[in-house]
Amino acid sequence: MALQQTNEQRKHVIPTDRTCPFDPDPEYRRLREEEPISPIEFVLAPGRKDGWLVTRHEDVRAIMADPRFSHRNELLAQVISPRFELEKYEPQPAAPGSFVLMDAPEHTRYRRLLTGFFTVRKIQEYEPTLAGIIDGVLDEMAGLEPPVDLLPVFVQKVVYRSLHSVLGVPEEDIAALDEHFTVITRLDYTLEEFVHHSTVLNEALARMVKGLFEQPGDKLLGKLVKTGELTEEEVANIAWIAIGGSLDTTPNMLGLGTFALLEHPDQLKKIRENPELMDRAVEELLRYLTISHMGASRVALEDVEVGGTLIEAGQTVVLSLPAANRDPDHFEDPESFDVTRRSRRHVAFGFGIHQCLGQHLARATLRIGFQKLFDRFPDLRLAAAPEEIPLRDKAMHYGVYELPVTWG
Ligand code: HEM
């Protein structure tokens, strides 16, 4: 591999074409083998440099762990949706509280206020409440006449009610916010749609947080207010991240995961016969489906050599999580879905300082959710041909828009 690859070489856009609903674009296989760090074409903010698409597991993890790569908003060059009038667009530093788009030490200051709520132990303590929420939703679903769309009757209710009990935001408010998040997490919205939905969202969150400053309550957001360390704006932006980060991810994993299990009856049978396999099955679903299909972006703060390629200071790298999670150098027979696999060190939750804050909550929701869904509806099956299931391939996170199912 030449040390100095240039952007004059052939460029790529992020591959998103699928031949099977559960497999990433087959182009990733070629890239990982032939050009694991390949020049990529972005819609660029003015004056910014082009960058690279990274597809090998080893390189993706190395960059995510390397402080020479930044996630600061004002440095990110890539614009992946037409939300901005490009000629006027000047990336700004992240707003106070929007710690995802900051580096240490600013990132650390906010993250440390939150980690205590999401530890393995805290989530274990929360599991009985979560199981009760899921049982309640399944009771309601059992009263319906099939076929139904599993998303509103199961997936969304579970996530809305769980968010209500963790964060302290009423279920109806979360459902209302979800309508707006759904639009702005698409990749094809118009500028008008973006302005409208993000304005409504920000106003709703600001109102909600104002209420919390008057009456904090005893849930996560209220406890953040009670620390006395944060302004209303900071709490509103943290709420944005926690609610948006949950609504765009766990529901997609629950919906697409159910679809994948129904389409792999041999694997589903193994879990049903050996419930202790569920932990591994969830990790395997996270790896195999890798819903963060647009990857994670970072910007080089200095010239850095990765796998024999020079990444110049100021260039953006897109770390393809789906490609890394199908890397045969790390996973044996990576294209097969195998619930008995130990999916060690997959990157579905990222890696390094920005590794998913909500990963243990997500895992518990998936494990208990799938377990109880298939216990309660052992003959659950699709009520449409698999090729008719609408796929979220033009959205920040991949999943299904509907999942018609039936039973009985
Ligand atoms: C299956 C569900 C989920 C998946 C696949 C997922 C995936 C990810 C990924 C890949 C990242 C790293 C992004 C990067 O490095 O650029 C991330 C970060 C994050 N996730 Fe999740 N996530 C899930 C659920 C959740 C939930 C339930 C929450 C709720 C709190 C959450 C909150 C966050 C936050 C706050 C970050 C940013 C952390 C930081 O910058 O320090 N996620 N997630």
Domains annotated for the chain, with CATH where assigned, are 27-406 (1.10.630.10)
User: What span, in angstroms and rounded, lies between the C-alpha atoms of 226 and 212?
Assistant: 9
295 lines ligand 1 (CB under 6 A): no
Whether 357 has a pLDDT exceeding 90, the answer reads yes
Q: How confident is the model at residue 45 (pLDDT cuts 50, 70, 90)?
A: low
What are the pLDDT digits (tens) for 120-134?
A: 999 999 999 999 999
Instruction: Give the Å distance between the CA of 362 and the centre of ligand 1.
Output: 9
User: What span, in angstroms and rounded, lies between the C-alpha atoms of 32 and 319?
Assistant: 12
Instruction: Give the Å distance between the CA of 244 and the centre of ligand 1.
Output: 10
Q: How confident is the model at residue 2 (pLDDT cuts 50, 70, 90)?
A: very low
Residue nearest to atom 28 of ligand 1 (CA): 358
Q: Residues near 346 by Cβ (< 8 Å), separated by ≥ 6?
A: 283, 286, 287, 290, 325, 331
Residue pair 27/18 in contact (Cβ under 8 Å)? The answer is no
As beta bridge partners, residue 382 has 405
* pLDDT at site 3: 32
Structure tokens that stand for 230 in this block: 């944060």
Instruction: Give the Å distance between the CA of 101 and the centre of ligand 1.
Output: 12
What are the pLDDT digits (tens) for 159-191?
A: 999 999 999 999 999 999 999 999 888 887 777
* pLDDT at site 386: 98
User: What span, in angstroms and rounded, lies between the C-alpha atoms of 139 and 397?
Assistant: 29
Mean pLDDT of 17-32: 95
Mean pLDDT of 80-99: 72
Structure tokens that stand for 24 in this block: 């990433």
Residue pair 71/350 in contact (Cβ under 8 Å)? The answer is no
* pLDDT at site 47: 64
Mean pLDDT of 33-54: 81
What are the pLDDT digits (tens) for 254-296?
A: 999 999 999 999 999 999 999 999 999 999 999 999 999 999 9
Whether 43 has a pLDDT exceeding 90, the answer reads no
397 lines ligand 1 (CB under 6 A): no
Q: For all residues of the chain together, what is the average pLDDT?
A: 92
User: What span, in angstroms and rounded, lies between the C-alpha atoms of 262 and 369?
Assistant: 15
* pLDDT at site 304: 97
The beta strand positions in 177-229, using DSSP E, are none
Whether 393 has a pLDDT exceeding 50, the answer reads yes
